[in-house]
Structure 1
Amino acid sequence: MDLVIAKDYETLSEVTAGIVLEKMLKHRRVNLSLTTGNSPKMAYEILVDKLSKLQMDTSMIHYYNFDEVALKDKQYGLTMSGLKKALYEPIGVAPENIHELTIENYQEIDKKIAQVGGLDLVLMGLGEDGHFCGNMPGYTDFSKETYSIPVIPGDQMYESLQEHLGEEPGDYFVTFGPKTVMAAKHLVLIVNGEHKAEIIKQVIEGPVTEKIPASILMTHPNITVILDEAAAKSLK
């Protein structure tokens, strides 16, 4: 594990943007799987600014969404809509280079990723309950590849999603499983804020357990963990 402790969120974002940009500059096909949400927001703003100043061919950069929560009566789910707004549209990603994860294609995605050389980078955040991608405590099996979780009105998953999203979820939730993520060449986990200090301590210092799904990431041979000082405060 390569552990980077940044002074603050801005520095964390600069480091994160630099890692993603380095992958983008490879002179070959590059397969990226990037998170959405608040943690990478500034990193994407920095990345958009840097890319606007570079003259580079982006036709060989492909994007694979690693999870998706359907939203009721919406064209796009939570991840797709978030990434379109934060990154895909600002940098002008061609539609054919965006590989949306859906209930229709999730069973084939692992095979398709393997056929194009695997994922070069998976950039993830960390949930306060220890989840990564859509791998939640109580639902995670470390042996799983990409899988779906039914979302039924009134059940625990539905209620949890509705509370988290602030709007009504649709009828499915799909995610890269631990096995899919662990097959990537490079993992980057970004964590900021004092409210994440206790869970990142558990993730890094062990044990590896499905009760804290992200703990499995620490066994990857090439993982970079980027924390701000607030998130790192409880580490030994």
Structure 2
Amino acid sequence: MEIVIIDEPEDVGPLGADAIAQHVVANPEAVLGLATGSSPLRVYQELGARVARGELSLSRCQAFLLDEYVGLPAGHPEAYRTVIDREFCDLVDLDPANVHGLDGTAEDLLGECTRYESAIAAAGGIDVQLLGIGRDGHIAFNEPGSSLGSRTRVKTLTTQTRLDNARFFGDDFHAVPLHCLTQGIGTISSARHLVLIALGEPKAEAVHQLVEGPISALWPATALQLHPHVTVLLDPAAASRLQFGAYYREAYRGKPSWQGF
């Protein structure tokens, strides 16, 4: 797990975009894993700028979303497929037909989860997966107590997650769906490279547990400690609880220039 503490918030976008772009340059048909929320926005904007300048093309890539609310109709402004279209796909040259999401309105939700797992496998698996982290340590919608080997499934959202997400629903807690479909921790861990972004002091304890805590379902993101290729991009506030912060900075400064992410 590589920990990168970024002093200037504006550098999060370029560094995150570098991590994605290295896969696309190596394989123009790379399979991307997309996350919603505020953490990846700077990365999406930077990727959009590179595509606009002709420095990068995603036209041959495929992409898979991490999760989706249950019950929001297609086109709802806070359905995650709508959010990804607005915040990422509209900025780049990725073919919308190659962007795959979960159908939270499916009549057979369990069958939809099985279908999604099969679609990821048929695409050859995900090359690079963007992630955020919740203040309680959840990744995607794998709330505390989730199985660390879980696959795509239906989950019930915690009250805290619904309160956190109410800001996207006019601050109406009751408008936030109770259920979701989400890639499991086992599914996420099958991606070849994980890039997790955490910004702000409210994420500091979750980051501390992710990087330095014991592996536990109490903090689902700690399962990533077992993954062979994880990049964690942090601002100083999110890194403020790390015991070995000085070492992580030293290690990054001394990183060979050829190594990349």
TM bucket (normalised to shorter chain) is 0.7 to 0.9
Query: Which is further off, 225-234 or 50-59?
Result: 50-59
Alpha-carbon distance in 2 for matches of 1:65, 1:115: 15
**In proportion to residue count, which structure has more strand?**
1
Identity rate, percent: 29
Q: Give the TM-score, by structure 2 length.
A: 0.80
Q: Please say if residues 72 and 169 of structure 1, whose CA atoms lie closer than 8 Å, have aligned partners that are also in contact.
A: no
User: How much has 1:18 moved relative to structure 2?
Assistant: 1.4
Residue 161 to residue 230, structure 1, CA distance change in 2 (3 Å): closer
Which amino acid in 1 is paired with 2:3?
L
Structure 1 counterpart of 2:62: 62
2:191 matches 1:190: no
Residue 8 to residue 193, structure 1, CA distance change in 2 (3 Å): farther
User: How much has 1:15 moved relative to structure 2?
Assistant: 0.6
Q: Please say if residues 69 and 174 of structure 1, whose CA atoms lie closer than 8 Å, have aligned partners that are also in contact.
A: yes
Determine helix, strand or coil for the equivalent of 1:25: helix
2:143 matches 1:142: no
Instruction: Identify unmatched segments of 5+ residues in structure 2.
Output: 107-111, 170-174, 244-261
Which amino acid in 2 is paired with 1:81?
T
Structure 2 counterpart of 1:180: 187
Alpha-carbon distance in 2 for matches of 1:78, 1:87: 14
User: How much has 1:196 moved relative to structure 2?
Assistant: 1.3
C-alpha offsets along residues 88-118 of structure 1, whole Å, 9 cap, x if unaligned? Answer: 1122432211111124432122222122211
Residue 209 to residue 159, structure 1, CA distance change in 2 (3 Å): closer
Instruction: Identify unmatched segments of 5+ residues in structure 1.
Output: 151-156
The total of aligned residue pairs comes to: 229
2:212 matches 1:205: yes
CA RMSD, 1 decimal:
2.1
Residue 57 to residue 207, structure 1, CA distance change in 2 (3 Å): closer
Residue 143 to residue 62, structure 1, CA distance change in 2 (3 Å): same
C-alpha offsets along residues 70-96 of structure 1, whole Å, 9 cap, x if unaligned? Answer: 464553453212211111112243221
2:226 matches 1:215: no
User: How much has 1:69 moved relative to structure 2?
Assistant: 1.2
Q: Please say if residues 203 and 214 of structure 1, whose CA atoms lie closer than 8 Å, have aligned partners that are also in contact.
A: yes
Aligned residue among 234, 238, 242 for 1:231: 238
Alpha-carbon distance in 2 for matches of 1:56, 1:14: 13
Aligned residue among 103, 117, 130 for 1:110: 117
Q: Please say if residues 45 and 91 of structure 2, whose CA atoms lie closer than 8 Å, have aligned partners that are also in contact.
A: no
Residue 169 to residue 198, structure 1, CA distance change in 2 (3 Å): closer
Structure 1 counterpart of 2:86: 85
User: How much has 1:59 moved relative to structure 2?
Assistant: 3.2
2:19 matches 1:13: no
Q: Give the TM-score, by structure 1 length.
A: 0.88
Q: Please say if residues 73 and 170 of structure 1, whose CA atoms lie closer than 8 Å, have aligned partners that are also in contact.
A: no
Residue 56 to residue 224, structure 1, CA distance change in 2 (3 Å): closer
User: How much has 1:35 moved relative to structure 2?
Assistant: 1.1
C-alpha offsets along residues 215-235 of structure 1, whole Å, 9 cap, x if unaligned? Answer: 101110111111111211221
Which amino acid in 2 is paired with 1:144?
S
